[in-house]
Chain A
Amino acid sequence: MLKTVLKREIQHNLYSLRFMVALALVLLAFILGAVSFVRNHEDALAKDRLARAEFLDKMKEDATKSLTTLAVTKRDYPLRPRDNGFIYDAKEKYLPDAITFSAWNVFGFRNRGGSVNPFLAKHDEINWSFIVGLILSFVALLFTFDAVSGEKEARTLALALSNPVSRGALLFWKYLSAIVSFVFVVTPGILASLLVVLFLGAANISASLAAEVAGFLAVSVLFAASFAAFGLLSSVVSRSANVSLLLALSFWLLFAVVIPNSSAFLAKKLYPIESAKAVEAKVNAAHGDLSKNAPPGSWSMNYGNPFMPLHELRANLQMKLLQAEKAIRDASIQAMSRQFEKTRWLTALSPIADFEGLTEAVVGGGYPRLLKVWKDLHAYQGQLLAFFQALDAQDPKSPHWYNPNEDVSTTRRPVAFETVPQFTERPMSLADRLKPAIPFLLVMAISACLVFFISFILFVRYDVR
């Protein structure tokens, strides 16, 4: 019996016009998105090669000057564009794409400004996450909004219930069939996109890609379950399919348009942080204070004589300045992170935001990736500092007065570039990806169950006449 219901529902969905139109639209979007990605990615890689070559050249040049120059120079580590951006770009284009560091500190991050055309309105990339999150969520609603009210209007609902099948089972199979139909729409799209990307050589078949695709499919199914639940809810709330549709559309507008687009506003209103100007003022005040109270002669400089005692004063002063600034800036960056994370928590109300959080985890990109590189770069900075200090200790011509900003009072020997430790970004491990995603997973799963449960209760009381 149950099989019959499921079969009937799925057939009903698959042979319907909405399925055909959805499939056509989705295939179109997937293919156009994939082709655009390939071109875009080529471009991004070319830009990245340039930036990376420049980064290394500068480092080599500094290494031939002296080890100290290498250690104290601030450099921007450019983040590499991800090869799996066709699954989800995680809005990395708009996030900082370079982290500034020296051997003494990891200073901050910035958007190098090359990734965004300021004359182009802010937009989403057409990747899998966008298509599933925006278009297929709509499709999931369209598959379900009239599941109950539509059948009631067509007067087949009473007929179906006259069979020996419980209401709960009927609703559940309707739910399941909507999800299965959804999979039938997504899978061809994903395959088409994969083919384009693989065929044009923007990605290679690998275990990690397979895992990411599988992960994406799994997350999409959960997402479809969540939206289908909302569709069912709007279907059982109303007695007419028309009203169901409007309710479903309202849900969709709320989740796809209102909540995601109000995030920045909510962040500023609910979780205000210090303005950049205030932070800057604090840094300046700390600098002024330290410089004013520094022992006289701290700013005297004689490059010719590294052992001039005043150099030690300034080395100490510069170190204190660095630490004072670091404390203020790190606190500010932490405040930024908290503001961002809290806001994301708030937007978790929308399954679309949850879905984005989850796909971000699947591809290992976006904000969690930035945080991870930020953390890893701190470890690297420690390594670089240890390397510098070890070599400096061996130099009898160095007074070993560590100055984080100048190349005066530490070793002036050049260093072989090949021996300098290098930083390479490692892809995020499974644990790294899962940890920030678990809350989104829970919220989405729980809300899907909850909404389905409410629909179930309403359906049990539904007047089928």
Chain B
Amino acid sequence: MILHIAKKEFLNNLLSARFVIGFVLCLVLIPFSLLMNIDDYREKSELYHLDRDAAEARLKSTRVFSGLRPEIVLPPEPLSLFNRGITGQVGNRVKILLGEKPLLAEGRAATRDNPFLDAFFSIDFVDIAAIIFSLLALLFSYDAVTKEKESGTLGLQMSNPVSRAPLLAGKIAGILLTLLPVLFFSFLLGAVIVLLSRDVAFRGLEWTRIGLVAAVSIIYMTVFAFVGLLISARSRSSVTSLVVCLFLWVFFVFLVPNLASYAAESFVRAQPRDNLTRVLADMDKVRDEEISARAKSLPKPDWDMNWYSNGGADGYIENYGCSKSYFEWYRARAILSEPIRLDTADKKWAPQKSYLDSLNRQARAAETIAMISPAGVLRRIASALCGTDRRAHKADMDRTHEYRETFIRYLKGKDIFASFRWFTPTPPETFRTADELIDLRSGGRFKALPEYESWRVEQKDFRAQFEVLRKVKVPGDKPDDFPFIDLSDLPRPPPRPASLRLGLEGSVAGIGLLLVEAIFLFYLSYVAFLRYDVR
């Protein structure tokens, strides 16, 4: 009997305009969203390869260990083309520094070329699914009861020896039977587009994840079908039911997700980034002052002259052609400064973490409020399964933190802060005293430093003071005389582990919620239908 009713409902629906238009909508919107996102993914992959190669090249062209700063470039998540999650908002590059732990990834691919385009929003497969599937579910269920009442066939059916429960079950089965092909077709279409695309290749695990998203979409659709059924069973006319359904649709699918983020942004405060920047800069200042204060007590070098010198952020220094005592001074300074730098990085983590926590709190509040809407729940589950949510990003960032520790252990294992190789590739046995250098460079014109100095202060021409030292080239006084560091023993950052665990963990609560909603709504519509006045 149930089958009979289901078949009737199904055939009824199949021939209706809404089925055709719904199908056409899927046929247009799904490829549209996927093609857009595949293009976006291709761009991200290209950038990833460029960035990774550039980082690798930079790493390999280092001659001193103080300039060694590995950069982790996070690969784009292939499933981001089904659900972008926060991947468009967070960056993909993390530089491993000694003076600071990684805070947020840099380099957002989306707006690198034109920041104005940030004012435009984009949409993905799951967004489309959330919009279309809920709309179709409501459109097929809003008049499930009322239409037959209006046309008078409901009373007729009831006159058959069939109780209301199987009738309702048959109707539900009929609706789901109509909706499921559309859903399967949409996912199939998505899969075909992915398979045909040359820019993206899915492995087994990714297909599993998409399969799970499809399964969750079925529950999502069912929830909305029950919402429509409930409203239908509580309304006297189809028009009333329709109007209520559509307003609920706009409310849940369009208003709530935006409202959730906006309310969270307004009521759960995130710390200002400027504040953190200032606090960190102040801590850096304190650190630098401490380093230079303590460096004052170091024995002065006899001649503080760098023949070639380079330096930069995070304690990078690279020196060539210094006198032996100046090299010694640099080494003593590194022994003193680098532990302080590492120590400050640990101290800086407290305000950094409190800033990150405030961002996370805000985002969590938005996610929680968005759970009011099944569309919010679906998006959350999908982004967890696709590995594009906060958890996945946090796992990525946690790995960068671990890698930083590994890198520091690697440096300490070489006792590198106490080594000359920290700031110069010049072997210590070739170091020369200031007098030797002066003698060599001036081609014997000056035998010792004081001799040169007393001559130098009398020279008016600034450049002539140094021209005299260029007479003879001393080997090892510029970078090109040395090879790059051998990095064969440098530990490499671990790749992103392929596992479903994180995705399942992040989605289990949402799936449970959707199921509970579906059952609850089913019960309500069942009760409402039992009490329905068929006249």
| A264 contacts partner chain B, Cβ-Cβ < 8 Å | yes
| B250 contacts partner chain A, Cβ-Cβ < 8 Å | yes
Q: Which of B257-265, B288-296, B316-324 contacts A (4 or more CB under 8 A)?
A: B257-265
Are B273 and A114 closer than 8 Å at their CB atoms?
Answer: yes
Residues of B within 8 A of A383 (CB): none
Residues of B within 8 A of A337 (CB): 116
How many A-B residue pairs lie within 8 Å, measured between CB atoms? 222
| A269 contacts partner chain B, Cβ-Cβ < 8 Å | yes
Are B85 and A123 closer than 8 Å at their CB atoms?
Answer: no
Residue of B86, B116, B257, B273 ringed by the most chain A CB atoms within 10 A: B116
List residues of A (266-283) whose CB comes within 8 Å of B's CBs. 267-269, 273-277
Per-position binary interface string of chain A over residues 370-401, scored 1 when its CB falls under 8 Å from any chain B CB and 0 otherwise: 00000000000000000000000000000000
Given A96-B115, A112-B273, A308-B462, A36 contacting B262 (CB threshold 8 A): yes
Q: A205 → chain B, closest Cβ, in Å?
A: 23
B16, B86, B113, B278: the one within 8 Å of A275 (CB): B113
A172 to B91, CA, bound (A): 53
Given A32-B259, A96-B115, A121-B86, A264 contacting B122 (CB threshold 8 A): yes
A438 to B363, CA, bound (A): 39
List residues of A (298-334) whose CB comes within 8 Å of B's CBs. 300, 302, 308, 310
A37, A111, A124, A275: the one within 8 Å of B115 (CB): A111
Residues of A within 8 A of B240 (CB): 17
Are A276 and B131 closer than 8 Å at their CB atoms?
Answer: no
Given A123-B262, A257-B123, A267-B117, A50 contacting B272 (CB threshold 8 A): yes
Residues of A within 8 A of B112 (CB): 275-277
Are A50 and B86 closer than 8 Å at their CB atoms?
Answer: no
Q: A155 → chain B, closest Cβ, in Å?
A: 14
| A199 contacts partner chain B, Cβ-Cβ < 8 Å | no
Residues of B within 8 A of A119 (CB): 86, 89-90, 359-360, 362-363, 390, 393
Residues of B within 8 A of A123 (CB): 257-258, 261-262
| A126 contacts partner chain B, Cβ-Cβ < 8 Å | yes
Are B121 and A336 closer than 8 Å at their CB atoms?
Answer: no
Please give me the residue from chain B that is nearest to A20 by CB atom. Answer: B243
A122, A300, A339: the one within 8 Å of B462 (CB): A300
| B244 contacts partner chain A, Cβ-Cβ < 8 Å | yes
Given A242-B17, A265-B36, A120 contacting B243 (CB threshold 8 A): no
Residue of B89, B112, B135 ringed by the most chain A CB atoms within 10 A: B89
Residues of B within 8 A of A134 (CB): 250, 254-255
Per-position binary interface string of chain B over residues 263-291, scored 1 when its CB falls under 8 Å from any chain A CB and 0 otherwise: 11111011011110010000000000000
Are A142 and B246 closer than 8 Å at their CB atoms?
Answer: yes
A119 to B32, CA, bound (A): 26
Q: B36 → chain A, closest Cβ, in Å?
A: 4
Are B274 and A126 closer than 8 Å at their CB atoms?
Answer: no
A277 to B39, CA, bound (A): 19
Q: Which of A39-47, A163-171, A402-410 contacts B (4 or more CB under 8 A)?
A: A39-47
Residue of A36, A121, A122 ringed by the most chain B CB atoms within 10 A: A121
Residue of B239, B266, B274 ringed by the most chain A CB atoms within 10 A: B266
A18 to B246, CA, bound (A): 10
| A118 contacts partner chain B, Cβ-Cβ < 8 Å | yes
Are B272 and A40 closer than 8 Å at their CB atoms?
Answer: no
Are A253 and B359 closer than 8 Å at their CB atoms?
Answer: no
Q: A55 → chain B, closest Cβ, in Å?
A: 11
| A364 contacts partner chain B, Cβ-Cβ < 8 Å | no
Residues of B within 8 A of A261 (CB): 120-123
Please give me the residue from chain B that is nearest to A115 by CB atom. Answer: B273
Per-position binary interface string of chain A over residues 435-462, scored 1 when its CB falls under 8 Å from any chain B CB and 0 otherwise: 0000000000000000000000000000
B119, B128, B244, B251: the one within 8 Å of A17 (CB): B244
Please give me the residue from chain B that is nearest to A35 by CB atom. Answer: B266
Please give me the residue from chain B that is nearest to A264 by CB atom. Answer: B120
Residues of A within 8 A of B269 (CB): 43
A37, A95, A125, A250: the one within 8 Å of B118 (CB): A95
| B366 contacts partner chain A, Cβ-Cβ < 8 Å | yes
Are A242 and B18 closer than 8 Å at their CB atoms?
Answer: yes
Are A40 and B120 closer than 8 Å at their CB atoms?
Answer: no
Can you report 22 residue pairs joining A to B where beta carbons are below 8 Å apart? Answer: A17-B240, A17-B243, A29-B259, A36-B262, A37-B266, A43-B266, A117-B270, A118-B91, A121-B257, A123-B262, A125-B262, A126-B258, A138-B250, A142-B246, A242-B16, A257-B123, A258-B29, A261-B122, A262-B36, A267-B120, A308-B462, A367-B119
Known A277-B50, A310-B463; further 18 A-B contacts with Cβ < 8 A: A25-B247, A35-B266, A36-B262, A39-B267, A50-B274, A94-B118, A96-B116, A116-B89, A123-B262, A124-B121, A134-B255, A261-B122, A262-B122, A263-B120, A268-B43, A300-B462, A339-B117, A340-B119
